[in-house]
Amino acid sequence: MTRTLVTGSAGRLGRSVVTALAHAGHEVIGVDVVPGTPAEAAVALPADLTDLGEAYDVMARFRPDAVVHLAAIATPFSRTDGVTFRTNTQLAFNVCEAAGNTGVGGVVVASSPTVIGYGAPGGWTPSYLPIDEEHPAAPWNAYSLSKLVAEQTMAAFARAATATRFAAVRPCFVVAPEEWAGAPTQSGHTVAERLDRPEIAGVSLFNYIDARDASDLIAVLLQRLPELPDGEVFFAGAADALARRPLAELLPQVIPETAATASNLTGPSPAFTSAKAQRMLGWTPNRSWRTELEI
């Protein structure tokens, strides 16, 4: 049985990851500073992983085969910039360092599509659409910068060529199961509000993913890590946009410079493509707001 340690196991994405991995037969160790890790975890341990000693301690204590690193200050501007940057970068470093030096087989680090730079106050235009993993990164705030540093930290440990295999996932705006039923999303709006008022979801280019689909991708990625090139990065998004009208029509209203390139986005297509995950992992998202939203 694979023993997998999930950091941030009490969080929006962490809860679904714990459940998905447990159902896939993993023995899950949940680590978080707050309670709330689902009961499917074999163990739920409180720990502050910004402390390198605590990070080493949990690896030494549980000797996991794999680590899914989700712990972070996950909402931009929810804390002061210095705290967000310091917390997220320190967490990524500590988890990669402790896992790499204690013989963990594989580490998946959560990054974010925000690394590409949408929403920058000085203006931002995608170089092309749909956006894939080759698109230039241009973070502009403490959160997106911390996520790019987390990705680069993962890549640095991959280059250091320890026995540990590394990868990162950039999940789109995560929608947890209860949010389809009307609970507020990370932005404080309900999914229905994000659909009804395009200016809300437009800032992040109408991206989203069901938390269970993101969890399935993470489960497949853990399985495939040994045969993948080390240090790969994957977008994980729904197969459609979180919008009632086509992005070819909506995106130019948010970013006028996309008038020409947005025409590549036919029908309900999203602005971010998960084609790499489909090609390299055989993963495709199963859920859409069209099938999940309870109204």
* Residues within the interface to ligand NAD (CB under 6 A): 7-8, 10-14, 32-34, 48-50, 70-72, 74, 91, 110, 112, 171, 173-174, 186
Closest approach, Cβ 281 to ligand NAD, in A, equals 18
Closest approach, Cβ 58 to ligand NAD, in A, equals 10
- Whichever of 48 and 65 has its CB closer to ligand NAD, that residue is 48
Closest approach, Cβ 49 to ligand NAD, in A, equals 4
In 3-state terms, what secondary structure has residue 213? Answer: helix
Sign, Cα dihedral of 153, 21, 113, 168: positive
For residue 262, give the nearest of 117, 124, 128 by alpha carbon.
128
Closest approach, Cβ 173 to ligand NAD, in A, equals 4
**Both tokens assigned to 128:** 């092309």
> Which residue has the CB atom at the shortest distance from ligand NAD?
11
Q: How many CB atoms lie within 10 A of CB 1?
A: 8
- Whichever of 146 and 261 has its CB closer to ligand NAD, that residue is 146
Residues 263-268: contacts with CB under 8 Å, at least 24 apart: 264/128, 264/129, 264/130, 265/129, 265/130, 265/241, 268/240, 268/241, 268/243
Closest approach, Cβ 75 to ligand NAD, in A, equals 7
Instruction: Identify the DSSP state of 272.
Output: B
- Whichever of 44 and 91 has its CB closer to ligand NAD, that residue is 91
- Whichever of 74 and 129 has its CB closer to ligand NAD, that residue is 74
Residue 52: partners with Cβ closer than 8 Å, 6 or more residues away: 94, 97, 98
- Whichever of 38 and 261 has its CB closer to ligand NAD, that residue is 38
